[in-house]
Amino acid sequence: MGVLMSRRQTVERVQKVSLAVSAFKDGLREQPSTRRRAEAGTTRQGTLEQEVQEGEEEPSAGPSQAEESSASKAAWERLRDGRGVEPEEFDRANRFTPPAFIRPKRELHDDEPPDISLEQREQILNDEMCEICEVWTAESLFPCRICHRVYHDGCLRRMGYLQKDSAVEVTETAHTETGWSCYYCDNLNLLLTEEEMYSLMETLKSCKIIPESCLTLDDFLHYKHQVHKQQFERTMPEAQEEQAALQFNALDPDKKGHIEWQDFLSHESIQLLQKIRPQNALLRLLTLKERERARAAFLALDQDNDGFIGEGECRQARHTWFRKHQKEMLSCNVSISHVGPISEGSPASSRNGKSPEKILPATKQEETSIDWPGFLRENVIYILAARPNSAAVHLQPPA
């Protein structure tokens, strides 16, 4: 019995000591910060009280700088890994885990010309199951206009890829002729290899570009001047600066006075591809749907079926890739006889009241003729640049 009582007393004593220590620590936390600083300044003894005070004062030494550095590091990591901006308001507990993305690699045969026939049409087949949840629900799936993938709007929302009004945009455009690009195809930066991405990141860092930030016209021109000086070791000519200003306007169609980070990143990615990849390698990036649309565009312009179109017609087709969807969408039942919605200057349009047959022969006699392979080579970079859903023109075609 005595042994039991001694054990109980021991437990009670330990509990009392624990309570006393907890009360002591709580008392230290409740002391005003000015008093703690005064006491810390008058004595430097290694007491328990001083250690608690120093431990509490250290977090206030500069958390903003640490948080800023962490946020910047996370932004660069998202850029390197091909992930988009991840807003803090996302409820990650109720979100699907984003799929791991592996950047493409260059193959030995990439520089060889691909076999893309004009006569042999390619059958377009979309996936039957949602890319995210792998469930088939027929008409409720939204197809990508670039690749074969299909999605549920609910799955896209839980992935964080549909926000605010973008769900309505997907619903209105996915089943129309203009279509909607999925999160893979919408991000042109995902076309870059690891080596190309590293090169782009080094350029952005050297020019002090802050990732995931908007750029004003002055920021954009300053960046272009720095890049030009790094490459050519001389000042950028005035004519080239004017072209850069025009490109800024193309990236800011709503005249906000700034361009969004994703549009800037897509523009720089497509510029890098145009500079370092040969045209044959770019042609291999075209999907089946893009090849079929290009084929339909060429056949619509080749009215006399001789396998050639005029240079002016080639430029017109290049511009039509950037005709973004309007409020009144064309029905998906309309046959695709052009690339995107018909523009007023397009030979496929009858708004001008002139028959295409009357103007095409004269145009062909005056201009250099372009065949199907040449048409693809001239337009491939603009076809790729037109993938994003944004209304911005990520690569302004020459007039």
The whole-number pLDDT of residue 287 equals 95
User: Which tens digits make up the pLDDT trace of 269-327?
Assistant: 999 999 999 999 999 999 999 999 999 989 999 888 888 998 888 888 787 766 544 43
The whole-number pLDDT of residue 149 equals 92
pLDDT of 365 over the 80 cut? no
* The 3-state secondary structure of 321-386, one letter per residue: CCCCCCCCCCCCCCCCCCCCCCCCCCCCCCCCCCCHHHHHHHHHHHCCEEEHHHHHHHHHHHHHHC
Domain residue ranges of the chain, discontinuous segments joined by +: 189-286
Second CATH level (architecture) for the domain 189-286: Orthogonal Bundle (1.10)
| Helix ranges, 82-193 (H) | 153-159, 166-173
User: Which tens digits make up the pLDDT trace of 230-271?
Assistant: 989 899 999 999 999 999 999 999 999 999 999 999 999 999
The whole-number pLDDT of residue 328 equals 37
pLDDT of 213 over the 60 cut? yes
The whole-number pLDDT of residue 336 equals 31
> Among the listed ranges 155-159, 160-164, 195-199, which one has the minimum average pLDDT value?
160-164
pTM above 0.75, yes or no: no
3-state secondary structure of 216: strand
User: Which tens digits make up the pLDDT trace of 44-95?
Assistant: 444 444 544 554 444 444 445 666 677 777 777 777 766 655 555 444 444 5
